[in-house]
Amino acid sequence: MDKKYILALDQGTTSSRAILFNKAGQIVKVAQKEFTQIYPKAGWVEHDAMEIWGSQSGVAREVLETAGVSPDEVAAIGITNQRETTVVWDKATGKPVYNAIVWQCRRTAAICDDLKAKGLEAYIRDATGLVVDAYFSGTKVKWILDNVEGAREKAEKGELLFGNIDTWLVWNLTRGAVHVTDYSNASRTMLYNIGDLKWDDKILAELGIPKSMLPEVKPSSEVYGHTDAKTFGGANIPIAGIAGDQQAALFGQACFEDGMVKNTYGTGCFILMQTGEKRVQSKNGLLTTIAWGVDGKVEYALEGSVFMGGATIQWLRDELKLINDSADSEYFATKVDDTNGVYLVPAFAGLGAPHWDMYARGTMVGLTRGANRNHVIRAALESIAYQSKDVISAMEDDSGIKLAALKVDGGATANNFLMQFQSDILGVEVHRPKVTETTALGAAYLAGLAVGFWQSKNEIVKNWAVDQVFEPAMADADSAKIYKDWVRAVERAKAWEK
Ligand code: G3P
């Protein structure tokens, strides 16, 4: 049968999605299912790994059925995933020994403090490109081994396997035949040396993690194995691409030249700058991460995350009840000419890159008697753009590369006011592509390249089509002035919680 499609599996933090793409990189069909978020204690976040597998395989079958596409018409499957989320399962039974510990979960903060107290911060930073934080997988694996009865003994006997969600899905899709991950996901574990491209023995020993649990690390684009006949009605589809979701989005945005930057506006904002084969060490609190391993080489990226992006608009909607629908924020923000001097710093969960202040808290400054609802809504939208600029300025400083244009994706990019303001405050063009599902698209491209569905990255560049370009329309002096006041506002938010 003619292989006309690539199937991307996009396993995110709140939903499992399956998207079918054609050769032009266009979406043919989407299926999506939300799954349960488990909060056993304050600051703890878990997922049921079996529910993740069930929902993900379910939407994969559903998208083919609703599109009227036979599994035999699928050239390959590409996988992209919420990163860092940690699953440990029994090799023999395939059963997880504990719920998946989600990237957002803070339960291992004390293990991180301990690593810092032992003076390991610089070593870990150098080896893995990461700051020591509960965000990453390494301390989550240790927690499971320390806290689940019998887990450590079993792990030491080689009976348990660890994987992030990509690994878990591939293992299940192949019915336990393949235990792999790709460079981009490995680089988020805090266990992987991103220079030597090896699991780091010293960190593994420190955390007491047996090497036998770890998946084999592979390039992001190659045939890792085939789906077991039972998953797709007898078809053995090649699984041919894997990347963490933010790196996949960078790939889907065709950011192939050094210095190209994408920003995904979701709950938070994830900003990545491609730095090519150069591994840039940040002086400004950004992470160094592997972008992907493709065409026989590993390329790197600088990454900065803003904790409160779209979530700030949800806060206006759900807590302040200033709007009924997130999309209305654009309408109200444009009813006023400016914020009337109001700044909102949405440090509700502290501040991420480049500030890394766990004790910062949400702050509103500049209020006067004339400040109204529209000013606050506008200030909330502007805060997303300001925070993104904070990260991008740090990236420019670290890399010595001046941003030429910003490629954007994610839900909040539908907000034209936000996109225009982002362009104004950065002083560069903002490019919104036609396909904003760039995460899934990136995974599809990685898989398609491995099986010859697409021939080269050039084809991907050609497929990338712009929907709208936002050009900076604000005078430099004006944007500099309002940004200066933003910086002052951020200082007020810092170190609030003692
Ligand atoms: O690092 C976490 C990130 O991969 C999660 O992405 O889109 O599932 O919120 P998302």
DSSP per residue, 287-309: EEEEEEEETTEEEEEEEEEES-S
What integer pLDDT is reported at residue 425 of this predicted model?
Answer: 97
- How far, rounded to the nearest angstrom, does the alpha carbon of residue 47 sit from its chain's CA centroid? 17
Average pLDDT over residues 131-153: 94
Cα separation, 327 vs 330, whole angstroms: 6
Provide ipTM, 2 decimals: 0.97
- Ligand 1 within 6 A of 84 CB? yes
What integer pLDDT is reported at residue 498 of this predicted model?
Answer: 65
What integer pLDDT is reported at residue 230 of this predicted model?
Answer: 85
What integer pLDDT is reported at residue 352 of this predicted model?
Answer: 84
Cα separation, 91 vs 17, whole angstroms: 26
Scan for tokens 């440990």, then name that residue. Answer: 88
202 falls in which pLDDT band (50, 70, 90)? very high
Cα separation, 374 vs 379, whole angstroms: 8
- Ligand 1 within 6 A of 13 CB? yes
CA of 270 to the centre of ligand 1 (A): 8
In degrees rounded to 5, what are phi and psi of residue 151? -65, -45
pTM of the model: 0.92
pLDDT tens-digit readout, 20-69: 999 999 999 999 999 998 889 888 889 999 999 999 999 999 999 999 99
Which residues, 6+ apart, have CB-to-CB distance to 422 below 8 Å?
263, 384, 385, 388, 389, 406, 408, 430, 470
Q: Which of the listed residues 101, 270, 307 should we mutate to test ligand 1's pocket, taking the one with most ligand atoms within 8 A of CB? A: 270
The answer to whether 7 and 63 have CB atoms below 8 angstroms apart is yes
437 falls in which pLDDT band (50, 70, 90)? confident
Cα separation, 391 vs 479, whole angstroms: 17
Q: Which of the listed residues 80, 86, 105, 245 should we mutate to test ligand 1's pocket, taking the one with most ligand atoms within 8 A of CB? A: 245
Cis peptide before 71 (omega within 30 of 0): no
**Of 310, 171, 188, 300, nearest to 245 (Cα)?**
188
- Ligand 1 within 6 A of 82 CB? yes
What integer pLDDT is reported at residue 33 of this predicted model?
Answer: 93
Q: Is 310 annotated in some ligand binding site?
A: yes
What integer pLDDT is reported at residue 367 of this predicted model?
Answer: 96
350 falls in which pLDDT band (50, 70, 90)? confident
**Of 102, 105, 117, 92, nearest to 171 (Cα)?**
92
CA of 224 to the centre of ligand 1 (A): 23
Nearest-CA residue for ligand 1 atom 9 is 13
What integer pLDDT is reported at residue 267 of this predicted model?
Answer: 83
**Of 225, 248, 249, nearest to 237 (Cα)?**
225
Angle formed by the axes of helices 438-450 and 245-252, nearest 10°: 80
In degrees rounded to 5, what are phi and psi of residue 194? -80, -5
Which residues, 6+ apart, have CB-to-CB distance to 282 below 8 Å?
288, 302, 394, 398
In degrees rounded to 5, what are phi and psi of residue 100? -65, 135
CA gyration radius for the chain?
22
Average pLDDT over residues 167-179: 96
Q: Is 135 annotated in some ligand binding site?
A: yes
150 falls in which pLDDT band (50, 70, 90)? very high
pLDDT tens-digit readout, 279-336: 999 988 899 999 999 989 999 999 998 988 988 999 999 999 999 999 999 999 999 9
Q: Which residues of 369-378 are buried (b: 16+ CB within 10 A; e: fewer)?
A: eebeebbbbb
The answer to whether 90 and 37 have CB atoms below 8 angstroms apart is no
Cα separation, 218 vs 222, whole angstroms: 8
Cα separation, 232 vs 173, whole angstroms: 9
Cα separation, 355 vs 353, whole angstroms: 5
CA of 263 to the centre of ligand 1 (A): 13
Average pLDDT of the chain is 94
**Beta-bridge partner residues of 432:** 468
411 falls in which pLDDT band (50, 70, 90)? confident
CA of 103 to the centre of ligand 1 (A): 8
Q: Which of the listed residues 37, 45, 83 should we mutate to test ligand 1's pocket, taking the one with most ligand atoms within 8 A of CB? A: 83
DSSP assignment letter at 411: G
The answer to whether 165 and 188 have CB atoms below 8 angstroms apart is no
